[in-house]
Amino acid sequence: FITVLSPLIFPSVTPSIWLIFTLLTYSIIFSVTLLVWKQGYPLKPHFFLAKLLLIIAALISNLVPLGLFLQPLDFPSKYLTWLFLPSAFLFSLALADRLNVIIKEKAEAQSKFFREQAEAISLNRELNLALQKAYDELEKKVEKRSGELNKAKLEAEVANQSKSRFIANISHELRTPLNGILGHAQLLQRYPNIEPKQKEAIDAIYKCGFHLLALINDILDISQIQANQMKLYPKDFNFGECLAEIVNLFRLRATKKNLVFNYEGSPELPSAVYADEKRLRQVLIELLDNAIKFTQTGQVTLTVEVLEMNKEKPPLAPETIHFEIEDTGIGMTPEQLTKLFLPFEQLDNLAQKAEGTGLGLAISQRLVRMMGGEIYVNSTPDRGTIIGFELEIKPSSVILVKPKGKKILDAANIVGFKGEKRKVMVVDDNLEHLAFLTNLLTSWGFTVSEAKDGKEALEKIQEHQPDLIITDIFMSVMDGLELIKNIRENKDFKKVFIFASSAIGINSQENSSLEAGANDFIAKPIKVEELLEKLQANLRLEWVYKSTENPEEIIEEQATNSSEMVVPPAAELQEIVSAARIGDIDRIETEATRLRQLDIAYIPFADKIAELAGEFNDTEIVRLVESYLANC
Q: What kind and span of H or E run contains 451? A: strand 447-451
pLDDT at residue 79 is higher than 60: no
Q: Span 285-310, mean pLDDT? A: 90
CB atoms within 10 A of CB 306: 16
Q: Are 431 and 437 in contact (CB under 8 A)?
A: no
pLDDT at residue 373 is higher than 80: yes
Against a cut of 0.75, is the pTM above it?
A: no
What confidence tier does 190 reach under pLDDT thresholds 50, 70, 90?
A: confident
Q: In 47-66, which positions are buried (b, 16+ CB within 10 angstroms) versus exposed (e)?
A: bbbbbbbbbebbbbbbbbee
CB atoms within 10 A of CB 87: 20
Q: Span 511-523, mean pLDDT? A: 89
What confidence tier does 557 reach under pLDDT thresholds 50, 70, 90?
A: very low
Round to the nearest angstrom and report the end-to-end CA distance of the chain.
149
pLDDT of res. 561: 42
What confidence tier does 38 reach under pLDDT thresholds 50, 70, 90?
A: low
pLDDT tens string 353-370: 455 556 788 889 999 999
Task: Supply the mean pLDDT for the chain.
Answer: 79
Q: Span 480-494, mean pLDDT? A: 90
Question: Which has more pLDDT, 581 or 66?
Answer: 581
**Could you tell me what percentage of the chain is helix, strand and coil, using 3-state DSSP and rounding each to the nearest 5?**
60, 15, 25
What confidence tier does 223 reach under pLDDT thresholds 50, 70, 90?
A: confident
What confidence tier does 311 reach under pLDDT thresholds 50, 70, 90?
A: low
- 607 phi and psi, to 5 degrees? -65, -40
Question: Which has more pLDDT, 374 or 624?
Answer: 374
Helices then strands (H, E): number in the chain? 19, 14
Q: What kind and span of H or E run contains 260? A: strand 260-265
Q: Span 490-519, mean pLDDT? A: 84
Of 378, 353, 377, 380, give the one whose Cα is nearest residue 365.
Answer: 377
Q: Span 341-351, mean pLDDT? A: 61
pLDDT tens string 403-445: 444 455 777 788 889 888 899 999 998 888 888 899 899 989 9
Cα–Cα distances in Å, from 529 out to 182, 409, 593? 13, 7, 12
pLDDT at residue 399 is higher than 50: yes
Q: Span 22-33, mean pLDDT? A: 68
CB atoms within 10 A of CB 465: 13
Domains of the chain: 235-308+316-395 (3.30.565.10), 411-534 (3.40.50.2300), 551-629 (no CATH)
Question: Which has more pLDDT, 600 or 572?
Answer: 572
pLDDT of res. 89: 67
pLDDT tens string 89-98: 666 666 777 7
pLDDT of res. 187: 81
Q: Are 15 and 66 in contact (CB under 8 A)?
A: yes
Q: How far apart are CA 386 and CA 380, in angstroms?
A: 9
Non-local CB neighbours of 430 within 8 Å, separated by 6+ positions:
176, 179, 180, 472
pLDDT of res. 153: 85
Q: Span 25-49, mean pLDDT? A: 63
What confidence tier does 509 reach under pLDDT thresholds 50, 70, 90?
A: confident
Say how far residue 365 (Cα) sits from the centre of its chain.
Answer: 12
Say how far residue 182 (Cα) sits from the centre of its chain.
Answer: 35
Of 287, 281, 372, 268, give the one whose Cα is nearest residue 325.
Answer: 287
